[in-house]
Amino acid sequence: MNRVEAYDKVTGRAKYAYEYGVGEVAYAHLVQSTIARGRIRSIDPGQALAMPGVIAVLSSDDPPELGSLDDAELALLQSRAIAYRGQIVAVVVAETPEIARAAERAVRVEYDAEPHDVLLRPDHPGLYPPEKVNPGLPTDTERGDVAGGLADAAVTVDATYTTPTQHNNPMEPHAALAVWADGGLTLYDSSQGVSAERATAAKVLGLPPERVRVISRHVGGGFGSKGTIRPHAVAAALAARATGRPVKIAVTRQQMFEVTGYRTPTIQRLRLGADADGRLTAIAHDVVEQTSTIVEFAEQTATPTRVMYATPALRTTHRLLRLDLPTPSWMRAPGECPGMYALESAMDELAVAAGIDPIELRVMNEPLTEPESGLPFSSRNLVACLREGARRFGWERRDPEPGIRLDGRWLVGTGVASSTYPARRMASRATATAEDGGFIVRIAAADIGTGARTALTRIAAQTLGTSTERVRVEIGDSALPQASLAGGSMGTASWGSAVVKACEAMLKNGAVGSADTTEDVEADSGFARHAFGAQFAEVRVDIDTGELRVPRLLGVFAAGRIIDDSLARSQFIGGMTMGMGMALMEETVVDEEFGDFLNHDLAQYHVAACADVLDIDAVWIEEEDPYLNPMGSKGIGEIGIVGTAAAIANAVYHATGRRIRDLPITPDKLVS
């Protein structure tokens, strides 16, 4: 089936947050700090207010009343302290977006600047262990004798890998429209989860949740950056409250780099030991990463290492550094994505050092139970993915010798890496009703471009034993039954569980079914639940210029039952394309002098262009898993990006004999 909203999207009828029409609307623009650390000495809005069409300038001179200051990134205009360059210091409201933007430059802000610290380094005295890493996992783990395992090993790898700051850059920039009426707020926002956003907005603004409604029917990508309410939506609400007008705000692409989150850079030291046969004797994965000075965000970078391979000794650690930069946030496959780049690169180095095929090395170290927890896997088909991928990719013809395959002026190589992502679900509610000869399913889910609306339509139709044409799924509105967000690859599993349950209830009583999966989700224990995959890459490196191309990318995944083939393929290859971008080009440069992100548009922050994506394919193996949810499905939104960068970096080594341990692998690192 086509996506249910396909026609609306291609005809432009699908409305995104900024496109809702409302009378008397005014426009807001953010004024941002130009120092990275210090205090605001004075704010003079006089010149801006004198401009024709300017309605108001909100600032900490008259702090807007808020209900909660707990989240310092959302507690707008409350303090004169500056925690990073680009922090919101004022909000201009005007009759047109152009006037608002022009007036932004007319707001005079004086600062008392202090020296800033924006550079992550592994020897920084400020490094500390956070209490937990996201989403509430232990910061450090240690099992067995790691030092002994490394000392006794026949083969060891001790290597440090770095990943740079990265930004999500969804196609649709963050935007919101705030409308107050009768003491309540309606917020049209670009959001990955309207229920959670309603709760947070209500808390921040000091309203009971039932006085807030969040609408987000169509979202042009989020990748985590719209997973929680961002400051622009709070700014719109405050501006609308202050001016008595509906207020729209569009975050510029440049502003997105400071205001909508990013992935922390990571410095990861991997130590692996193995016996002469390649069996692991120890793994140590030590991570250094950053957060801001105002909110702690601890990416769970080493956590996939707790899942992947059998070893008698395993240690993982995370150390954070508070820097004068914006708070990092969710970016596609947080934790797994950077962590598996390092682990899977190190596994490739171990295979080379031990003289073992990298697939055989992984197969040999396949665990019987989850290494850290000892829990049984609900299902684990990593080996099947590696074998199937090897067959499809032609791995058996591979000569492991690096740097010897020259095709014209191109050095050619291939690489492999494993992939993994947790298969979780969260509690949600849904209703199903028989109406007008068909069925309507209501749930405050989100379709951020994934096809969730379509997947839920299929799930409902299958449960109801009817055709998808007779089912309508309403999502993207917090007035609908409360649901979890589109994040952590949990959307379909969480919402689908509620939809199935509501449809089953409706079938029983014939008219209306409602469901709440809180108890079902609470009963989810006793198993380690993860999706697995194998990524294969072929690269070509120009010996003169260091230009790198990826003629082939293949992903093989085991993710439970696949609900919709074309949507799944789109998710997988979308993730793999992002993984290619991570490997080859994505890098936000920190400007040490000014203390901010230097490159902040799509001309300078490169993501893969269509021309970079050549032969890319994703397939999956049949996987039956009765311990997941009624659909038997695992999330597929994020696993596609996990491991891609390692497969490409491993292929670069195979092609050139050079191990590049600092992403991205740009021509300057390969030219000689």
Partner 1 sequence: MRPFEYARALDGPDAVARFRPGTMYLGGGTNLVDLMRLGVAEPDHLVDVSRLPFDRVEASDGGLRIGAAVRNSDLAAHPLVRERYPMLARALLAGASGQVRNMATVAGNLLQRTRCPYFQDVTKACNKRVPGSGCPAIPGDHRNHAIIGHSEACVAVHPSDMAVALAALEARVHVTGPDGDRVVPIPGLHRLPGTEPHRDTVLEPGELITTVELPSPPAGSSQYRKVRERASFAFALVSVAAVLDVGGDGTVRGCRLALGGVAHVPWRAERAERALLGAPATEEEFVRAADAELDQARPLPRNGYKVPLSRNLIVRTLRELTP
> Rounded CA gap, 83 and 86, in Å?
9
Site for partner 1 in 385-444 (CB under 8 A): 409
Report how many residues bind partner 1 under the rule CB under 8 A: 36
Cβ distance to partner 1 smaller for residue 142 or 542: 542
Closest distance between partner 1 and the C-beta of residue 605, in Å?
10
Closest distance between partner 1 and the C-beta of residue 594, in Å?
6
Alpha-helix runs per DSSP H in 446-558: 452-464, 491-509, 518-522
**Choices 310-318, 435-443, 451-459, 593-601 (CB under 8 A): range interacting with partner 1:** 593-601
> Rounded CA gap, 545 and 541, in Å?
8
**Choices 38-46, 266-274, 342-350, 606-614 (CB under 8 A): range interacting with partner 1:** 606-614
Q: Is 565 in the site for partner 1 (CB under 8 A)?
A: no
Closest distance between partner 1 and the C-beta of residue 33, in Å?
9
Cβ distance to partner 1 smaller for residue 111 or 395: 111
Cβ distance to partner 1 smaller for residue 102 or 159: 102
Q: Is 608 in the site for partner 1 (CB under 8 A)?
A: yes
> 359: part of which helix (H) or strand (E)?
helix 358-364
Cβ distance to partner 1 smaller for residue 103 or 179: 103
Site for partner 1 in 32-71 (CB under 8 A): 34
Q: Is 98 in the site for partner 1 (CB under 8 A)?
A: yes
Interface residue with partner 1 among 11, 509, 525, 672 (CB under 8 A) is: 672
Contacts of 27 (CB under 8 A, 6+ apart): 93, 94, 95, 96, 97, 99, 100, 247, 248, 249
Backbone angles phi, psi at 14, to 5 degrees: -70, 125
The residues facing 179 across adjacent strands are 186
What residues act catalytically? 638
Instruction: Determine contact, residues 455/492, Cβ cutoff 8 Å.
Output: yes
Q: Provide the token pair at 84.
A: 């990073």
Instruction: Determine contact, residues 665/649, Cβ cutoff 8 Å.
Output: yes
> Rounded CA gap, 502 and 125, in Å?
54
Closest distance between partner 1 and the C-beta of residue 439, in Å?
43
Interface residue with partner 1 among 171, 181, 523, 611 (CB under 8 A) is: 611
Interface residue with partner 1 among 13, 41, 105, 391 (CB under 8 A) is: 105
* Burial (CB count <10 Å: 0-12, 13-18, 19+), residue 295: middle
> Rounded CA gap, 387 and 384, in Å?
5
Closest distance between partner 1 and the C-beta of residue 667, in Å?
6
Q: Is 353 in the site for partner 1 (CB under 8 A)?
A: no
Closest distance between partner 1 and the C-beta of residue 45, in Å?
18
The residues facing 215 across adjacent strands are 188, 477
Which amino acid makes up residue 467? S
DSSP 528-595: B-EEEEEEEEEEEEETTT--EEEEEEEEEEE-BS-S-HHHHHHHHHHHHHHHHHHHHT--BPEETTTT
Alpha-helix runs per DSSP H in 190-295: 194-205, 231-243, 253-259
Site for partner 1 in 142-181 (CB under 8 A): none
For the chain, the first-to-last Cα distance in angstroms comes to: 51
Tokens 């140590």 sit on residue = 284
Cβ distance to partner 1 smaller for residue 126 or 667: 667
Cβ distance to partner 1 smaller for residue 253 or 472: 253
> Rounded CA gap, 307 and 135, in Å?
16
Q: Is 525 in the site for partner 1 (CB under 8 A)?
A: no
Cβ distance to partner 1 smaller for residue 51 or 363: 51
Cβ distance to partner 1 smaller for residue 159 or 589: 589
Interface residue with partner 1 among 604, 622, 624, 657 (CB under 8 A) is: 604
Interface residue with partner 1 among 545, 551, 615, 624 (CB under 8 A) is: 545
Interface residue with partner 1 among 405, 589, 619, 662 (CB under 8 A) is: 589
Interface residue with partner 1 among 135, 144, 312, 546 (CB under 8 A) is: 546
Closest distance between partner 1 and the C-beta of residue 408, in Å?
11
Q: Is 652 in the site for partner 1 (CB under 8 A)?
A: no
Task: Tell me the helices (H) and strands (E) count for the chain, helix number first.
Answer: 16, 28
Q: Is 95 in the site for partner 1 (CB under 8 A)?
A: no
Instruction: Determine contact, residues 215/476, Cβ cutoff 8 Å.
Output: yes
> Rounded CA gap, 11 and 6, in Å?
9
Site for partner 1 in 493-522 (CB under 8 A): none
Instruction: Determine contact, residues 624/603, Cβ cutoff 8 Å.
Output: no
Interface residue with partner 1 among 50, 69, 151, 609 (CB under 8 A) is: 609
Cβ distance to partner 1 smaller for residue 128 or 594: 594
Which positions touch partner 1 (CB under 8 A)?
34, 98, 101-102, 105, 254, 409, 544-547, 549, 584-585, 589, 591-594, 598-600, 603-604, 606, 608-612, 666-669, 671-672
